[in-house]
Amino acid sequence: MWWKPCGNLWGNRLADSRGSESSLAGALPEPLFAQITLIGLGLIGSSLARVIAMRKLAARLVLCDASDAVLGRLRALKLGDEVTADAGAAVRSADLVILCVPVGASAAVMTQIAPYLSTGSILSDVGSVKGAVVAALAPLLPEGVHLVPAHPVAGTEYSGPDAGFATLFHNRWCIVTPPDGAAPEAVEKVCAFWRAAGSNVETMTPSHHDLVLAITSHVPHLIAYNIVGTAADMEEVTASEVIKFSAGGFRDFTRIAASDPTMWRDVFLYNKDAVLEMLGRFNEDLAALQRMIRWGDGDGLFDLFTRTRAIRRSIIEQGQETQAADFGRQDHGQMKPEA
Ligand code: NAP
């Protein structure tokens, strides 16, 4: 089997439905880590900072970012016990370090911090691509440091420390992708951390993760970027008409296509093979649809749309979406697209 649910060492599974902060509010009886250091405090990093503080997942929380503006916002928001631009100093006493930077910045950050990581500590990340990250980080890993990458399948189209919120990961999946030979205790600690942050956790190989996410997240984003780009380039339809008459379907695409350009550039550069493989299949299926329309194959179209409707129902039944006609988007931004 290429995936397995992570065991539950701390027995701390949270409520099934995503909800208010109160459903996550209880602090743990004991922190899971003495010091957690987060590097890169945008949407994901600052959401982690909030849930770590709320649930007391670490005795001490150190936040590090390269941007002065971000550091200023973190201080104003009173996030973290220490806020610093010095990545080496930030990781020195940490037993868990999580890289929350764009995928393309991971190797550069690792080069900066590697000499300062403590023996026995765990290095993790939240990148939307896993194979390339493991390949870049593993050779730089000092002896005695455990690499346990992860990907919370939760997000919004917003960026930066003000966009984060503590319930972002609640009842969303987090995929943990340990490389071959990873220490089981380190893997279990990372799984326990994500469960305590509210996520449901599964483990998978990095390459399988990249294939699954290519079809469930990366290709859909590419389609959204493409369709909004096509509409913007149409000469016969004015920009104001596109905005004025944007129907629900197009509005959904514009929301996805508003996602962070740096992050998504990196996703396509670093998950190239899986995305190209899925795009090949997508193009074949699109050609089949084109044929059905050309030949008036109403039964074929009806059958396909019936199957796709069933998939939507399963997603709702599994609590990953709501029935609401607005797709639950008024709900604190929690139903936004994820990477
Ligand atoms: P974000 O809001 O843009 O935050 C990234 C932060 O990292 C920014 O504050 C950025 O500073 C900082 N940074 C960039 N390079 C750095 C460096 N070398 N050293 C220290 N800090 C650095 O991005 P995000 O949405 O949180 O995404 C972060 C990671 O999470 C990405 O790997 C992404 O693939 C993954 N992820 C994202 C989502 C999502 O939906 N957004 C979901 C799951 C996973 P500047 O702004 O100054 O560059």
**Which pLDDT band holds residue 209 (cuts at 50, 70, 90)?**
very high
Residues paired with 37 in a beta bridge: 62, 97
> What mean pLDDT comes out for the span 285-292?
97
- Cα–Cα distance measured from residue 131 to residue 103, given in angstroms and rounded to the nearest whole number: 11
Predicted pLDDT at 56: 97
| Gap from CA of 126 to ligand 1 centroid (Å) | 9
Tell which one of 47, 128, 256 to mutate to probe ligand 1, the residue whose CB is within 8 A of the most ligand atoms: 128
Q: Assess whether pLDDT exceeds 90 at residue 4.
A: no
Q: Tell which residue, 165, 172, 170, has the closest CA to residue 202.
A: 172
- How do residues 180-190 score in pLDDT, each as one tens digit? 999 999 999 99
Phi, psi of 316 (to 5 degrees): -65, -45
| Gap from CA of 99 to ligand 1 centroid (Å) | 9
User: Which own/partner pairs from 65-72 qualify as long-range (CB within 8 Å, at least 24 positions apart)?
Assistant: 65/39, 65/40, 65/41, 70/41, 70/42, 70/160, 70/161
**Higher per-residue confidence, 162 vs 329:** 162
Q: Give the number of the atom of ligand 1 that is nearest the alpha carbon of residue 129.
A: 34
Tell which one of 48, 177, 256, 263 to mutate to probe ligand 1, the residue whose CB is within 8 A of the most ligand atoms: 263
- How do residues 50-59 score in pLDDT, each as one tens digit? 999 999 999 9
Does the domain at 3-204 match CATH 3.40.50.720? Answer given as yes
The matching CATH number, chosen from 1.10.3660.10, 3.50.50.60, 2.60.40.10, 1.20.1260.10, for 209-317 is: 1.10.3660.10
| Gap from CA of 100 to ligand 1 centroid (Å) | 5
Q: Give the number of the atom of ligand 1 that is nearest the alpha carbon of residue 163.
A: 2
Are 273 and 214 contacting, i.e. CB atoms less than 8 angstroms apart? no
Q: Assess whether pLDDT exceeds 90 at residue 281.
A: yes
Q: Assess whether pLDDT exceeds 70 at residue 10.
A: no
**Which pLDDT band holds residue 323 (cuts at 50, 70, 90)?**
low
| Gap from CA of 41 to ligand 1 centroid (Å) | 7
| Gap from CA of 69 to ligand 1 centroid (Å) | 14
| Gap from CA of 97 to ligand 1 centroid (Å) | 15
**Which pLDDT band holds residue 5 (cuts at 50, 70, 90)?**
very low
Tell which one of 41, 44, 75, 176 to mutate to probe ligand 1, the residue whose CB is within 8 A of the most ligand atoms: 44
Q: Assess whether pLDDT exceeds 60 at residue 85.
A: yes
Predicted pLDDT at 325: 57
Percent residues over pLDDT 90 in the chain:
76
Q: Assess whether pLDDT exceeds 70 at residue 295.
A: yes
pTM over 0.75? The answer is: yes
Residue 305's SS3 state is helix
| Gap from CA of 241 to ligand 1 centroid (Å) | 34
Residues of the chain with CATH 3.40.50.720: 3-204
> What mean pLDDT comes out for the span 33-37?
98
Predicted pLDDT at 315: 85
- Cα–Cα distance measured from residue 196 to residue 230, given in angstroms and rounded to the nearest whole number: 42
- How do residues 94-138 score in pLDDT, each as one tens digit? 999 999 999 999 999 999 999 999 999 999 999 999 999 999 999
Mean residue pLDDT of the chain comes to: 89
Residues paired with 150 in a beta bridge: 176
Name the residue with the closest Cα to ligand 1, atom 35: 127
Tell which one of 84, 97, 101 to mutate to probe ligand 1, the residue whose CB is within 8 A of the most ligand atoms: 101
Task: DSSP for 197-256, please give it.
Answer: TT-EEEEE-HHHHHHHHIIIIIHHHHHHHHHHHHHHH-SSS-HHHHHHT--HHHHHHHHH
Tell which one of 43, 110, 124, 199 to mutate to probe ligand 1, the residue whose CB is within 8 A of the most ligand atoms: 43
| Gap from CA of 57 to ligand 1 centroid (Å) | 21
> What mean pLDDT comes out for the span 250-260?
91
CA distances from residue 272 to 129, 182, 211, 214 in whole angstroms, order as listed: 10, 25, 10, 9
Residues of the chain with CATH 1.10.3660.10: 209-317
**Higher per-residue confidence, 78 vs 329:** 78
Q: Give the number of the atom of ligand 1 that is nearest the alpha carbon of residue 106.
A: 18
Predicted pLDDT at 14: 34
Pocket lined around ligand 1, Cβ cut-off 6 Å? 39-45, 65-67, 70, 100-103, 105, 108-109, 126-128, 151-152, 155, 159-160, 260, 263, 338-339
- Cα–Cα distance measured from residue 323 to residue 327, given in angstroms and rounded to the nearest whole number: 7
Percent residues over pLDDT 70 in the chain:
88
| Gap from CA of 4 to ligand 1 centroid (Å) | 28
